[in-house]
Amino acid sequence: MNYPHPIIAREGWPFLAIALALAAAVTVWCATWSIPLWIIALFVLQFFRDPARAIPQDAGAVLSPADGRIVAVERVNDPYVQRDAIKVSVFMNVFNVHSNRSPVDGTVQRVQYFPGKFVNADLDKASLENERNAVWLRTTDGQDITSVQVAGLIARRILCYVKAGDVLARGQRYGFIRFGSRVDVYLPLTASVKVAIGDKVSATTTILAQL
């Protein structure tokens, strides 16, 4: 969850170490041939960046749990809490920060993992067909928010560090997805959505909705 770390997420340390070691080793042998490996190392470095974010303190604000682009805003059934809800989906490409953060202050009611497919996370069917991990949060005033990490075409690893009973603060880091994916946020029907399809959003700093 919250832990002291530099600007590079700890999930990326092994990958970055391997990429740098390979690039350095090949440089010693042939500098020209090492160029593609240094490019790969730079990609790994940017993918696992995890910068600190300013946290809006607006009462009732639901923050974006991920960086990316809004690909869905629609009324649906929330299959994890069994209710009608508004779903706001954030699609992350490989150039976005992939650290996931809590959208609200709340207590984790349940964490559910579902194995599944790895179709393009930009497609709407990915929400219910792909591998995913749902975190059901309840705010102090009794509002239910579901934040669902969804694997994508390239992503093969969803990491979630919370369990039922944990208390999260808005903007608190709770998971990570490698390497391109989406996060679906299910909101109460009374929520006022502040984003639209196509909008670019930033984890924690962008307000998705007001409760």
Asked whether residue 206 falls in the same domain as residue 116, the answer is: yes
**In this predicted model, what pLDDT tens digit does every residue of 101-139 receive, in sequence order?**
999 999 999 999 988 666 555 566 767 777 899 999 999
* Within a domain: 103: yes
Kindly provide the b/e burial profile for residues 70-105, where b requires at least 16 CB atoms within 10 angstroms of the residue's own CB.
bbbbeeeebbbbeeebbbbbbbbbeebbbbbbbbbb
* Within a domain: 53: no
**In this predicted model, what pLDDT tens digit does every residue of 53-80 receive, in sequence order?**
889 989 899 999 999 999 999 999 999 9
User: What was the pLDDT predicted at 114?
Assistant: 87
Q: How far is CA 181 from CA 59, 107, 143, in A?
A: 29, 25, 26
Higher-pLDDT residue of 184, 131: 184
Res. 1: pLDDT tops 50: no
Domain harbouring 122, CATH code:
2.70.70.10
Asked whether residue 166 falls in the same domain as residue 117, the answer is: yes
Asked whether residue 176 falls in the same domain as residue 132, the answer is: yes
14 residue type, one letter = P
Asked whether residue 30 falls in the same domain as residue 113, the answer is: no
**In this predicted model, what pLDDT tens digit does every residue of 6-41 receive, in sequence order?**
687 777 788 888 888 998 888 888 888 889 888 988
Question: Minimal CA–CA distance to 104: which of 53, 163, 46, 145?
Answer: 145
Asked whether residue 42 falls in the same domain as residue 72, the answer is: no
- Domain extent for 157: 61-210
**In this predicted model, what pLDDT tens digit does every residue of 130-161 receive, in sequence order?**
789 999 999 999 999 999 999 866 656 788 99
Q: Is-catalytic flag, 192?
A: no
Res. 188: pLDDT tops 50: yes
Question: Minimal CA–CA distance to 48: which of 85, 78, 81, 20?
Answer: 20
Higher-pLDDT residue of 41, 1: 41
Distance CA 49, CA 44 (A): 9
Quickly state the pLDDT bin for 164 (edges 50, 70, 90). Answer: very high
The total number of structural domains that make up the chain: 2
Question: Minimal CA–CA distance to 149: which of 101, 191, 210?
Answer: 101
Asked whether residue 22 falls in the same domain as residue 73, the answer is: no
* Within a domain: 138: yes
pTM score, two decimals? 0.84
The active-site residue, picked from 99, 127, 181, 202, is 181
